[in-house]
Amino acid sequence: MSESESTILIVDDSQLNVTLLDAILRPAGYRTLKALSGQEGRRLAQQHQPAMILLDITMPGEDGFTTCRILKSDPRTADIPVIFISALTGAESKVSGFSTGAVDYITKPFERTEVLARVALHLQMRERFVAAVQKQHQILDKLKRAQHGMLVKPEDMPEATFAVCYRAVHSVGGDFYDVCTTKDDCYAYFVADVSGHDLETSFNTSAIKALFQQSAGVDSLPEEVLRAINRGVIPLFYCSGMHMTACLVHLDRRLATVTLVNAGHLPVIHLSVDGTVELIEAEGDILGVFDELVLHPITKNVRRGDRLFIYTDGLVELHGESLNRKDGIDTLSSLCHETAALPLREAITAICSRICDAGSMPADDIILLGVEV
């Protein structure tokens, strides 16, 4: 940001002080906005998004401390640096100012060189901050594209007859899913929720995918697949204290059976072709914590046309709602039943839209993976 493009908002109830600061800033190439009260200053800040605000402390009605606190609590103005201008020089007033979010002080009477030096310093710092944020966003966007790119799509495996809704609240998500063929007419569906949503989490999901693909081979028992993944993630999670819940469903179409192994994850919803809804609950330890896992696989008979729904907790723990997890699972089960007449992909889309787009925005990543037998 060049000086000629920088706009400084001056907020002071004294017209003389506003005029003096304007006379210092304009010849140096800055544009100025002027306000004689905190309320007017906040309005101008929201409207024009200045590069900096020079804010008087001692003003009638809303003083500078109050104005600064309100500015910093508003996402539209929170990142604009505020420099207090005041005749108060005591440590107590400076501490109060910094506690409200100000970055510096300029004392009255104004010294031209001091004003310009402090303004230039903090504009440079803001420019570097904005550049760093933009670079971080670019990196996260690349990671997000890479993370989405490694997720298998239904059209890539039409024989597996699945549909999925994946939404990451953050740029990179902690939820993960994968699907693979184990042998003729046998498929493994894997859904996991890794704690955290940072860069480390995104790197770990690629390793988890590799572990799943390597271990879910021909004749591999579902519980042994999770044990193999657990052995692989323990070194990854050890230093960070991370962990992972997971659910693995193995569908054998020849025998018309599903085997479910659950590692601290949510129950699978089984929608029978006759309309009956059942929760398949299996107990098991979370992954990445214990060297020896305790798992209790469940095998059930299924019929052609049955549907299985695997999901993560972001879909059933609704932000801003009074619903607890049990209520959320009940709601999801009802929606699975209500959309039974729709093709699977349309049903998955309709369910997620009902939950996520009706004012109940999830506070966490979500996955809803549906399988049709």
Residue 31 phi, psi dihedral angles, 5° rounding: -85, 150
The rounded Cα 169 to chain-centroid distance in angstroms is 3
Dihedral sign (CA 15, 18, 20, 26):
negative
Per-residue model confidence (pLDDT) at position 95: 64
Per-residue pLDDT of the chain in tens (373 residues, 90 and over written 9): 444 358 999 999 999 999 999 999 999 999 999 999 999 999 999 999 999 999 998 899 899 899 999 999 998 899 899 999 887 655 555 666 677 888 888 888 888 999 999 899 888 888 887 777 676 666 556 555 655 556 789 998 999 999 999 887 654 457 889 999 988 889 999 999 887 655 555 567 777 888 888 888 767 789 999 999 999 888 877 766 788 899 999 999 999 999 999 999 999 999 999 999 999 999 999 998 898 899 999 999 999 999 999 999 888 876 444 457 888 899 999 999 999 999 999 999 999 988 876 544 455 678 999 999 9
Distance CA 212, CA 119 (A): 55
Query: Which residues partner with 192 through β-bridges?
Result: 176, 246
Query: Cis bond leading into 60, ω under 30°?
Result: no
Distance CA 262, CA 177 (A): 14
Q: How far is CA 178 from CA 151, 250, 296, in A?
A: 6, 12, 21
Distance CA 53, CA 32 (A): 10
Distance CA 33, CA 40 (A): 11
Distance CA 10, CA 19 (A): 9
Range list for CATH 3.40.50.2300 in the chain: 3-138
Question: Residues in the chain, how many?
Answer: 373
Dihedral sign (CA 291, 265, 198, 320):
negative
Query: Which residues partner with 187 through β-bridges?
Result: 181, 251
Distance CA 253, CA 138 (A): 44
- Strands of 175-183's sheet, edge to edge? 175-183, 186-194, 244-252, 257-263, 298-301
Query: What is the three-class DSSP state of 288?
Result: coil
For residue 131, what are the contacts with CB-CB under 8 A and spacing of at least 6?
none
pTM listed for this prediction = 0.62
Query: What is the three-class DSSP state of 300?
Result: strand
Distance CA 298, CA 295 (A): 10
Query: What is the three-class DSSP state of 140?
Result: helix
In the CATH scheme, what is the homologous superfamily, with its name and number, of domain 3-138?
A: Response regulator (3.40.50.2300)
Contact 143, 202 (CB under 8 A): yes
C-beta atoms surrounding 300 within 10 Å? 15
The two structure tokens encoding residue 292: 């020896």
Distance CA 289, CA 107 (A): 56
Per-residue model confidence (pLDDT) at position 170: 56
- Kindly give the residue spans of alpha helices, DSSP state H, lying in the chain: 15-25, 38-48, 64-73, 91-99, 112-149, 199-215, 222-237, 325-338, 344-356
Range list for CATH 3.60.40.10 in the chain: 150-372
C-beta atoms surrounding 98 within 10 Å? 14
Distance CA 354, CA 351 (A): 5
SS (H, E, C) 231-279: HHHHHHHCCCCCCEEEEEEEEECCCCEEEEEEEECCCEEEECCCCCEEE
The amino acid sitting at 114 is: E
Residue 202 phi, psi dihedral angles, 5° rounding: -65, -35
Query: Which region, left, alpha or beta, applies to residue 287 given φ > 0 means left and ψ of -120 to 50 means alpha?
Result: beta
CATH architecture, range 150-372:
4-Layer Sandwich (3.60)
